[in-house]
Structure 1
Amino acid sequence: MNQAIRFLIAFSIIVAVLATEPVVRAEYIDLLTVLDTIIAILFLIEYLSRLWIAPLRCEARPGIRGVIDYAVTPMALLDLLAIAPTILGIVSPELYLLRVFRLVRIARIGRSKNLQKSIKYFNRIITSKKEELQISAIYSGIVICISSVMMYIVEGHIQQEQFGSIPRCLWWSLITVTTVGYGDVVPTTPAGRLVASLTAICGIAVIAIPIGIISAGFTEAWSREQATED
């Protein structure tokens, strides 16, 4: 049953994504409408079934009170939000995407021992490496601030629209340090290009340091787990 629900959620999201493409929507609008209606009906049946059995849950209040208690839970409200537009006859690509909220259901249904163990490991690693990650964050902030100031000094008077203030330079610095490099704002002077090159080189460490810390934490946690089992 859980696998069927996961499949239905994934399929509904695929339909929602395809419905945002104008070419697909113009060519297959009738098919999309039929699929959306079928999906909404199946989700509605599943939603009403969960409302029906809600009072049977452990520690649930009996009767209508148990139904109301479940209906106002975040998970039930997300489900209702996902199916409401189609049930009310409101169809648009933007409202289709409300089904993305149902990905939360996949996460809840997919709670297995392995998933819970992975989450436990991750939380333990983040906690144990908190100081190292804080140092990495401070380093990243310093690199971004210094490169923004330097770029403002060398390029601010030449490209005032792009680098005319430090806040404007912060956008460029953040994108460069994270190695995304959109290319929408680039320096034109030799000094500016030198600053950009140094910023990009420092940006490699901004990404590599926290990844290395977390990877080392995973290795340590796994080694401890294996030693405990042995």
Structure 2
Amino acid sequence: MSAVPFSKISTPLNALFATIGLLVVAALTTQGLTGQERLVFELLLAAIWLAYVLQLSGTLLSRHRWSGGIPALVIDLLAVLVPAAAFLFVGSRDRNLYCAIWLLKPLRDSTFFRLLAKVVANESRNLIGVTSVFGIVLFGAALAGYILERDVQPDKFGSIPQAMWWAVVTLSTTGYGDEIPQSLAGRVLGGLVMMSGIGIFALWAGILATGFYEEVRRQDFVRNWQLVAAVPLFQKLGSAALIEIVRALRPRIVPAGAVICRKGDVGDQMFFIVEGRVTVATPDHPVELGAGNFFGEMALISGEPRSATVTAATEVSLLSLYAVDFQMLSSSSPEIAETIRKTALERRGGPPKE
């Protein structure tokens, strides 16, 4: 059989294999294992390694082998080559430890780590700046600690490299307690270093949090733009008006069979269908609406309760527009608002506005 299907090992299965492998590696370091137990564990590691070999072979033989990107291929190679090299060149006691490279396996398809890489790249200048401040404070604290404590504790602060350990522990506010300033000046210095550490780590956290927020918002904007552009009603808009619509509309996925709105409910939003179909339970007979249509507009125009129950006939991708945003749309794009009003009146049975 071809090995190609093994290139499609799912992310959860990759994570499961890696978890089992790492637990086995940990188990092999415990004392008192019998020879039979050790053999079973090593055979389990070999089975996981073989699965990764087949996955790598499938990736290399597939026409779409680069679809996962270079990092995924590199991780697949390391997962196979590092344990193999350890088996050939490392002693039997430690060779199994090299299977810990499988820690990387759950990362190969992770969108989070791709997002993290983008955030770090985007915020690299700020992160480098804060890291530089950290290094300056670290060396300055070690230098000051050496000067203040070298005569009191020569065994712990007898050199700047020795004092550097105290500075790292204090600046990170870990506080192991193995090195403690004895002089009053040294303790004042320790307090200042602790407060500096809190500020520096807060800056790091703030930069990363802001970077994540901006990147997620950017990705959401691009996704929403693609969804809005797929609605025929908005395709004639210019880019400026489309940006306003993208900011106003909220994407939503509804599973098949779910009720989107019920007759008689008070409505504060209308919906545009991007993909899928919905069923409108009208008094005469059910009406099915597909991609490009909209519904629920009467609640925004007249403020009346919902006139029909709408159910998702299939899984449906929707864009919702709230009443306050509809007022904004009416002022920025009156032609679209007028089209919505005319459609609402036609569905109600009244004459459209001219």
- With normalisation by structure 2, the TM-score equals 0.50
The whole-number CA distance in structure 1 between the counterparts of 2:118 and 2:87 is 42
Superposition pairs of residues 85-164 of structure 1, within 5 angstroms: 91-92=92-93, 94-108=94-108, 111=109, 115=111, 118-164=112-158
Q: State the match for 1:58 in structure 2.
A: 63
Aligned equivalent of 2:168, options 155, 166, 174: 174
Supply the distance in 2 between the matched residues of 1:123 and 1:74 (Cα, whole angstroms).
16
The residue type equivalent to 2:27 in the other structure is: L
Aligned to 1:36: 42
Identify the residue that residue 11 of structure 1 maps to in structure 2: 20
Residue 82, structure 1, aligned to residue 76, structure 2:
no
After superposition, the CA RMSD in angstroms is 3.1
User: Contact 1:179–1:200 (CA<8 Å) still a contact in 2?
Assistant: yes
Structure 1 residues without counterparts, runs of 5 or longer = 61-72
Q: Which has the higher contact order (CA 8 A, sep 6+)?
A: 1
Aligned to 1:58, what secondary structure does the other structure show?
Answer: coil
Aligned to 1:21: 30
- C-alpha displacement of 1:119: 4.1
Residue pairs, 1:192-203, within 5 angstroms: 192-203=186-197
| Offset at residue 96 of structure 1 (A) | 1.8
Residue identity matched to 1:8: F
SS at match of 1:220: helix
- Please give the per-residue CA displacement for 1:67-101, whole angstroms capped at 9, x wherever unaligned: xxxxxx7744641442566799x743x22221111
SS in structure 2 at match of 1:180: coil
Q: Whose radius of gyration is greater, 1 or 2?
A: 2
- Summarize deviations over 1:87-127 as a string: whole Å, max 9, x none: 99x743x222211112333322xx16xx1xx4454334333
Moved over 4 A (4+): 48-51, 83-88
Please identify which structure carries the higher helix content. 1
Higher strand share: 2
Asked if 1 retains the 8 angstrom alpha-carbon contact of 2:25 and 2:96, the reply is yes
Sequence identity of aligned pairs in percent?
Answer: 24
Asked if structure 1 preserves the Cα contact closer than 8 Å seen for 2:146 and 2:159, the reply is yes
TM-score (norm 1): 0.73
